[in-house]
Amino acid sequence: MKLLISNDDGISALGIRTLANYLAEAGHDVNVVCPDRERSATGHGLTLHQPIRAEIVEGIFHPAIKAWACDGTPSDCVKLALWALLDAPPDLVLSGINQGANLGTEILYSGTVSAAMEGLIEGIPSVALSLISHTSKDFQPAAKFAKILVDQLAQKPLPDLMLLNVNIPALKWEEIAGVTLTRQGVRRYIDVFDKRVDPRGKTYYWLTGEVIEDVEPPIGLNLPQNVPLDVHVVRKNYISITPLQYNLTYADGLNKLSEWEFNFP
């Protein structure tokens, strides 16, 4: 398959090098366009008021891979790749492998998921891949599963245009319990700002939020209740796959608000 790979951890991140090299060695046609530095938690931001630059990078990836480092956001990288850098659209957009989970409501902030979502917006099926650890450097099991998933999608394409948000436990391959389709959960945080003073006496704040609980999403989202939550299955050492779409319309809200009446003169 012709693959476009991006991330939000930057061109030097071990996760993207492991993923890209693993898939190139398996015979896939791999192109990499990703930020030139870490751009985590940037959401779906785009650069509008300054130019975006991209430079070809050599010596980091497998020799068969063509790679660019871009000074924009993860979404910038994918948009630039699809509209300016690649000679033809890819069959699949991959983002990752991220250093750290993207579960529940974290996907709203995630640059990893946003890079994949940009592919989806452009009509290309996409996959976001995250390793559930901020410290583990063993990305091989996650890359191995990515290859299995890509090979499966090559043989049996997705039935509809969607994004697969994949979270892989930071375990040895033989310790992973299996793969489970999931729905998005909710992660609640203590959003603590650490108040500090710089050497010039100016006050600044550093966000240091921590997860305090994983909870059920509200009822009324038209989601099957028998499907487990992503935040729950990863605790049992399963790989979580949650299908996502960019349309955020609240269907139950439409039904409830249909009773409203607006009287204009």
Please work out, in degrees rounded to the nearest 5, the angle formed at the alpha carbon of residue 184 by the alpha carbons of 187 and 231. 55
CA 221 – CA 193 distance, rounded (Å): 32
On whether the CB atoms of residues 23 and 150 are closer than 8 A, the answer is: yes
Any known ligand binding at 160? Answer: no
User: Would you state the structure tokens that stand for residue 92, as one six-digit string?
Assistant: 């699949």
C-alpha closest to that of 132 among 214, 217, 199, 50: 214
Any known ligand binding at 98? Answer: yes
CA 30 – CA 126 distance, rounded (Å): 14
Any known ligand binding at 40? Answer: yes
Q: Please report where in the chains the tokens 């959003």 appear, as a residue.
A: 191
Q: Cα Rg for the chain, rounded, in angstroms?
A: 20
Any known ligand binding at 151? Answer: no
On whether the CB atoms of residues 186 and 242 are closer than 8 A, the answer is: no
User: Residues annotated in the binding site for a divalent metal cation, as ranges?
Assistant: 8-9, 40, 98
| Annotated binding residues | 8-9, 40, 98
